[in-house]
Every structure is written in C-alpha cells, then in structure tokens.
Structure 1
Amino acid sequence: MEMEKSNRGRKIVVAVDESEESMHALSWCIDNIVVSEQTSDYSTTLVLLYVKPPPPPFSPFDVADYLLGNDVVASMEEYSRKLVESVMSRAQAICTMKYSNNINIKVEKKVGSGDAKQVICGTVDKLGADMLVMGSHDYGFLKRALLGSVSYDCAKRVKCPVVVVKHQETN
C-alpha cells in the first residue's frame, strides 16, 4: 500500500468555504506542503472540497412552495449554485497564482451537501486522502462551545494527518 501511495503522489483534501481563513489555509498548503515536496516524478493532487449546508428538512414542494412560491425556492437554489461557483473560482485562482508549470500539481473540485463534519470526514476516507488541510475560524471558548469546531471533530475522526492553519491578522 505504501509503495502505491508514493507512486501516485500525495492526495491532499483542502476544505474551502466563503471565509478568508479557508483561502489562507489553501495558500499556506501550497506554499508549505505542496511546493516543498515536489520532484519531477512526484505529483500532488489537491482536492478542493466545498460543503453546502444541509437542505431544509422539508421538500421545496411542501411548506416552502406553499409559503414562498416556486420563484423564491428557485432563487435560493440559484444563490447556492453561484456561491459554490464563487468559492471554487477563488480557490482555483489561488492555485493558479501559486504554482507555475514546473510544479506537478492536479486540482480536483468536489462539492458535498450536509453536515460539514460528516461530509469532510467521509470524503477524506472515501478518497483515501493523505492529508486534510483546514482553516481555523479561531473561535473563542463560548462560540466553540455553542457552535462546535469542525476542525477539532475532523481531527478526531479521520485517519490521516490534519493540518489546521490559523489565519494571522495583519494590522
């Protein structure tokens, strides 16, 4: 198994979302992990993973259709699609800006839907990723207690190394 991994290179899942923290983590990953391990016969696959929030517990044809009408539901779906496109194009732009032709890197984009912790951990396991990279929102104790920490839960659950990159504010 180890020989197979070294031949195919490294597969790194980077969780991306609308936040600056996730884009900083992607940039940090390319600068500090991807570039440092490059050789002519070794490639890295970056899997950019975006997780959409879970759909409402009712069908759009149930309560939403009755209360909101088809136009509002269609608008919400269009907004979600544009948000995914926006996040992925920002992430792709960072990848393009960071690597040049002499770096052997492949970028894949994946979009999941549901609970972020479950989707991220499931994707990492399914892909057999070698590493998971995530940004940290650096919530304080109270926010973390109320909202939970996706990075903490993922670090406990996945089998591969997890790198949580803190975004350092520049004043």
Structure 2
Amino acid sequence: MIPAAIPEIKKILYATDLSENARFAFGYAMSLANRYGAGITILHVLEDVSHFADSLVINIIGQKKWDELRKSNEQEVIDTIRGRLSNFCEDVSRDLPECPFITDEILVKVGNPAEEILKQVEKRDFDMVVMGAHGQGFIEDAIMGSVSRRVVRRCKKPVLVIRIPD
C-alpha cells in the first residue's frame, strides 16, 4: 500500500496548442499555481514536417537549401510564438488580478507534441502537467485528443486534462 502524502506542487507545465480554447485550460493551471505558490512553465510544440513532405522538398530544392530555409524560418516562428505566449500571460494577469501567478519560462519546441511534453517533464522535473483536450465528437476526439491521451498514458507525473466545454 502506498502511504498517504500531501503532494507538493511547485512546478507546473502548461502545454498549449495556442487554440482559442487555450485560455480556458490555462485558467486551471493559473488557479493551481496561485493556490500552491507554484511557477508555471508554458510549452508550445511546433509539429515537425512529416518525413514524406520533407523528402518531397529535398528532392525539389536539395538538402542544403532545405536545411537553410528551415533553420531561418524556424527561429522566426519560434520567436513569434514566444512573443504571442508572453502577451497571452500579460493579458490573463491583467484580466484576473485576483489570481496572480508566476511564469517561470516560456518554451517553444519543434517535434512530436506528446514526445516533447514527456521529454520536458522528465528533463525539468515538473510536479504536474495541465493541458486541454478538444474532444467534441468522434473524429475530433480521435485526432485532436490523441496528444493528451498519449501524455496521460506515458507520463510519470500527474496530468490534468481540461475538457473544453461544448
């Protein structure tokens, strides 16, 4: 039997897809951070280009040119998203002054969203993950809810999945 213990929550990873519903799920991360005096790290993962698309472009423009384009454009996109997330935090703080929170860091990574979330949890030793789920129908749930399902299944830390109301 596992002994009862009060969990200490000091580091929360909030994973966002930047959708319109992100603010709703962020409210839960913010509330938990406020309640426990925890810091929030915000993570957005840019899904990498599929292997098939990658191969097509390489065949057309060549590996060297493709690598140059990706590197220059990728950093510009990351900087833009990081700015957008920073503005998002400022807006939420201004709108809800009664629920202050600390943003420890804003991360923008490239790769498989579920894998990158799991990697960051392990690497940075977060106490929990908060993320939204989009399931509003069979097809949407099967496709869009797959990231949250994979994270819940494989994460060694607690994961709070916020279902967006219909």
Normalising by the residue count of structure 1, what TM-score does the alignment of the two structures yield? 0.70
Q: 1:91 Cα shift? A: 3.3
Distance (Å, rounded) in 2 between the aligned partners of 1:102 and 1:151? 26
CA contact (8 A) 1:135 1:165 kept: yes
Give the alignment's Cα RMSD to 1 decimal.
3.4
TM-score, normalised with respect to structure 2: 0.71
- Checking the alignment, whether the CA contact within 8 Å between 1:136 and 1:167 is kept in structure 2 is yes
SS in 1 for 2:151: helix
1:40 paired residue number: none
Q: Show the 5 A alignment for 1:5-20.
A: 10-20=10-20
2:58 is aligned, of 59, 62, 70, to 62
Q: Does 1:84 align with 2:81?
A: yes
3-state secondary structure, aligned to 1:20: coil
- The alignment covers a number of residue pairs equal to 153
Residues 45-65 of structure 1, C-alpha deviations (whole Å, 9 max, x = no match): 211001011135338983353
Matched residue SS, 2:157: coil
Question: Following the alignment from structure 2 to structure 1, what is the Cα–Cα distance between the partners of residues 87 and 93?
Answer: 10
* CA drift at 1:107: 2.4
> 2:46 aligned with 1:52, yes or no?
yes
Distance 1:148 1:29, change over 3 A: closer
Q: Paired residue for 2:150, among 149, 153, 156?
A: 153
Q: Matched residues in 1 for 2:125 and 2:38: separation?
A: 14
Q: Which runs of 5+ in 1 are unaligned?
A: 38-42
Amino acid at match of 1:26: F
Percent of aligned pairs sharing the same letter = 25
Q: Report the equivalent of 2:131.
A: 134
Question: Shift of the alpha carbon at 1:149?
Answer: 1.4
Counterparts of 1:15-34 in structure 2 under 5 Å? 15-30=15-30, 32-34=31-33
Worse-matched range after superposition: 21-30 or 154-163: 21-30
User: For structure 2, which runs of at least 5 residues remain unmatched after alignment?
Assistant: 1-6
